[in-house]
Structure formats: C-alpha cells, structure tokens
Amino acid sequence: MTLVNVFIQDTIVAIATYLAPSSVAIIRLSGADAVSLAKSICLHQHHWISHKAIYTYVQDEQQQLIDEVLVLPMLAPHSYTRQHVVEIHCHGSVVIAKTILQLLLNKGARLAQPGEFTLRAFMNGRLSLTQAESVLDLIHAPSLSMAKKALANLKGSLSTQLHHIRSQLIHLLAQMEVQLDFEYEESIDIHAPLLQLLDQIDQLLNTPSQWYRYGIRVALIGVPNVGKSTLFNALAEEERSIVTSIAGTTTDVIEISIQWKQACFRLFDTAGLKSASSEIETKAIAKTQQMANHCDLILWVTDVHQPLQIPNHLKQPIIIVLNKIDLVEQIQPPQTSLPVVMVSALQGSNLTHLKNMIYEHTMKQQPDGIYINERQTQLLQQAKQQLIMLQQAMQKGYPLEILSWHLKNAIRALEENDVNQSTLHAIFSQFCIGK
C-alpha cells in the first residue's frame, strides 16, 4: 500500500513521540472511529468532551490496568486532520506505549504510514500543500530563525503570496479571453502588470532560503600554522580539529554547525594553502579551494608575524582575522579595505566581536524574506519562464491564443494543490510516523 492510495476513512493510529524511555509518550488516532476505539480501552468511558483532557486508566482485554493516562479527544472538524482525533498521553515507557498501540490495532485501527496525519489534513482542506511542507520544515529546522520561517508558512505567509500572484495572473487571463471572445478592437495593455508580477516572483526567488534551511557556510582559510584549527575549536567551543605545532596538521575539511543569534552557521576548518609536496597535500588543498568557491563567507586567518597576502582567486566576501595578538605588545593593523578583526584564538580574546562581525556581515548580504523550498522554487521558476516567454510572444506580435496559453501555464504552475501522486508521496514519505 503506497501513501497516496491510503483509505482516508480508515481510523489510523501511531506513536507520535520518539520511541525511547521518557517522561511522556503520546499515541495518536485519527478517523471516524477514533473516539470509540479509544474509549474501548479506557476505564472511564463517559462524558468525553472535545478538547477537554480526561484522566483515566488504560486496560487490556482481561480488564487488567496497563497505565494511568490523560486522554485528549478533538472532534471533527476542529482537529489537525479535520477528522476525530484522540491523543492518549501515557508514561514514557516503550513497553507501555507499544502495548497501548497494539490494543488499538487489535480493536480495528490501522497503523499509520509516515506523514499520513498531515496528508489527511491536506486532503481534507485543513492545510494547503505549502503549509503541509512547512510542518516538515518546522520539524527539521536547524535554527530558531528557520523555525520561525516555517511557522510563518504554516500560518499561510507563503500561501497567501502565491495565491495573490496567481489571482493576478487569472485576472490578466480573464481580460485577455474577454478580448479573444468578443474581438475588441482596442487591445489591452498587460506590459505593466506583467512586469510587476515578474518582480514579485523575483522577490520570492531571491530570498535567502538556503541559509535558513542549511545554514550559512563560513570557511576558515589561510596558510599553514596561523591558528585556523585553534580558532575553529574556539568558535565551536569544543575540540573538533586536531591542533599541533606541526604545520599542515589539517588535511581534510572539518565541519560543525553552531547557533548565533537564532541563525545557524556552518563552520569549515580547511587545510592551509601552500605549494603541495605530496598527493595528500594536493587533495587537501584542492578541497580548500573548492570550499573557498562555495562558501558564503571566508575568514582569512593570518597572524601578527606575517604580511597580509590574500590570493586573488578568492571571490567570496572576506573578513580578515589577525590571530595570535597575545604574542606581541603592539599591533599594526594591515592596510586594507576589507574588515579586520584582531583575536587570540588560544586565549579566546575578542571572539565575541568576531562572531558579531560574521553575523552582521552575512546578514547585510542577504535581506530577510520568506522561506521557499526546492519544489516551490522550481514552480516559481516555471511560472517566471512562462511569463518571460509571454513577453517575447507579445514583442513578436503572436496572436492572443498563444499569449493566453503561456498565462495558463504560469497559473497552472502556481496551483498549490493540483499535484500528482508521485509528488505527494515524495513529500509526505519524508515525515515520521505519527505526524
């Protein structure tokens, strides 16, 4: 049975919490028989009111008590799935949670598939597909800023904008088809609204979504033995990179994710740039150069004893980190237009200032915006491409039938809920069982 062929009227059940010893476990049901099945295993079966917790006991087929529980019924349509939903909150014993689950399966419930609760919320009109995807984004958010973006989309922030753009496209199509049906002599001018729509789409496409989802990539790069690994460990606040007095100790890219000011930063320690003298060094330096080309910010790490020499091939934004200031009494800052931070990675001096500079420098490069995922990005790009083709067709004087065809394709790309089964399966199969 595939996810998209499930029987939506079945009553499904799953353990909604992580299956490990904990303080509380939650068993969740959804479907027409959710309340009657939950009542059938509970000691107290009367006066169940929607959204009111019931204190009771779960018992097995022999009327032996299994656990002391709280039961929360949520009657349709005022529930996550718009069906009857019941949650049983028991003690967080794996044995108890599995026993209650099996009791409900024995009574006729079916084990839910991954994401089936959210799939039902989508199919019953409780959530748009974009909102359903935001549930997954919220669960897997790597930072508080990403969680806030996902919650905003769950509340309809992105759906509202997509709906607004699509409504304007439909309005343009209606104007065009009226002219086509009645053969008005005076043609309508859609150049200005078309440019506005393209601008709205570009604003969504240009939001820093990858930063929210995957974190801001910051690479520590420099020549050997300037303290990159020591600085990496100091920023990470743990010993991740091996540090020795031997130049060239780091021969691979080492990564760690950290949280600053609600944002996720991915730090990369790299091998020192120099002339390679072995196959290992050749591969290590190649990885460093690759990271320098694909990161969002470079920390060029040098020390107070070396002249400032930054390779010309480094094109990403750069902050110069002048390390080992604890080794000298007076420091002459380098003459450069690039931002400079003077630190002692070994003693932890001025690291807070460096973190603030990293945050401010990256955030000013990318304005705040709505988060969109890969699927939504592709649909917006499809709509944009159709509108660009529409502009080109207008310039070439193509008939209205061709122009309206491009508009219809753009409208179809932005239809949130008109998706095929493979797309639904790809989205909802990523969810855990019980969500």
- pLDDT greater than 50 at residue 265: yes
- pLDDT greater than 50 at residue 419: yes
- What's the pLDDT score for residue 120? 93
Is 250 annotated in a binding site? The answer is yes
Is 87 annotated in a binding site? The answer is yes
User: What single string gives the DSSP state of each residue in 319-338?
Assistant: EEEEE-GGG-SS------SS
Asked if 108 contacts 128 with a C-beta cutoff of 8 angstroms, the reply is no
Is 423 annotated in a binding site? The answer is no
Q: Same CATH fold, 212-365 and 144-207+372-416?
A: no
- The fold for domain 212-365 equals Rossmann fold (3.40.50)
Is 271 annotated in a binding site? The answer is yes
Average predicted confidence (pLDDT) for the chain: 87
- What's the pLDDT score for residue 211? 77
103-157 per-position pLDDT tens digit: 999 999 999 999 999 999 998 989 999 999 999 888 888 888 888 888 988 998 9
CB half-sphere exposure, 2, CA atoms < 13 A: 9
Q: What is the rounded (10 degree) CA torsion for 96, 97, 101, 102?
A: -30
* Cα torsion angle, 188, 192, 197, 202, sign: positive
Least confident of 44-53, 276-285, 286-295, 319-328: 276-285
Q: Which band of pLDDT confidence, cut at 50, 70 and 90, is reported for residue 5?
A: low
- pLDDT greater than 80 at residue 418: no
Asked if 73 contacts 84 with a C-beta cutoff of 8 angstroms, the reply is yes
- pLDDT greater than 60 at residue 360: yes
Is 352 annotated in a binding site? The answer is no
Rounded CA gap, 18 and 297, in Å?
Answer: 37
- pLDDT greater than 50 at residue 248: yes
Q: Which band of pLDDT confidence, cut at 50, 70 and 90, is reported for residue 43?
A: very high
Determine what percent of the chain is predicted with pLDDT higher than 70: 94
Is 245 annotated in a binding site? The answer is yes
- What's the pLDDT score for residue 1? 43
Burial grade of 60 (CB within 10 A; 0-12, 13-18, 19 or more): middle
Q: Which band of pLDDT confidence, cut at 50, 70 and 90, is reported for residue 187?
A: low
Least confident of 50-59, 74-83, 302-311: 302-311
Domain boundaries in the chain? 3-127, 144-207+372-416, 212-365
- The fold for domain 144-207+372-416 equals Four Helix Bundle (Hemerythrin (Met), subunit A) (1.20.120)
Is 227 annotated in a binding site? The answer is yes
Q: What is the mean pLDDT of residues 406-434?
A: 85
What letters, b where the CB count within 10 A reaches 16 and e where it falls short, cover 227-249? bbbbbbbbbbeeeebebeeeebb
Rounded CA gap, 72 and 29, in Å?
Answer: 10
Asked if 281 contacts 265 with a C-beta cutoff of 8 angstroms, the reply is no
- pLDDT greater than 90 at residue 87: yes
Is 230 annotated in a binding site? The answer is yes
314-346 per-position pLDDT tens digit: 878 889 989 888 887 777 777 788 888 898 888
Is 272 annotated in a binding site? The answer is yes
199-216 per-position pLDDT tens digit: 999 988 888 777 777 888
Is 435 annotated in a binding site? The answer is yes
Other Cβ atoms within 10 Å of 385 Cβ, number: 14
Looking at this protein, which amino acid is placed at residue 92?
A: G
- What's the pLDDT score for residue 182? 61
Asked if 292 contacts 311 with a C-beta cutoff of 8 angstroms, the reply is no
- pLDDT greater than 60 at residue 235: yes
Which ranges constitute the DSSP H helices of 88-183?
94-106, 116-123, 129-139, 144-154, 157-182
Is 118 annotated in a binding site? The answer is no
Is 270 annotated in a binding site? The answer is yes
143-164 per-position pLDDT tens digit: 888 888 889 889 989 999 999 9
Is 263 annotated in a binding site? The answer is no
Q: Which band of pLDDT confidence, cut at 50, 70 and 90, is reported for residue 249?
A: low
Q: Classify domain 3-127 by CATH number.
A: 3.30.1360.120
Q: How many Å separate Cα 414 from the centre of its chain?
A: 20
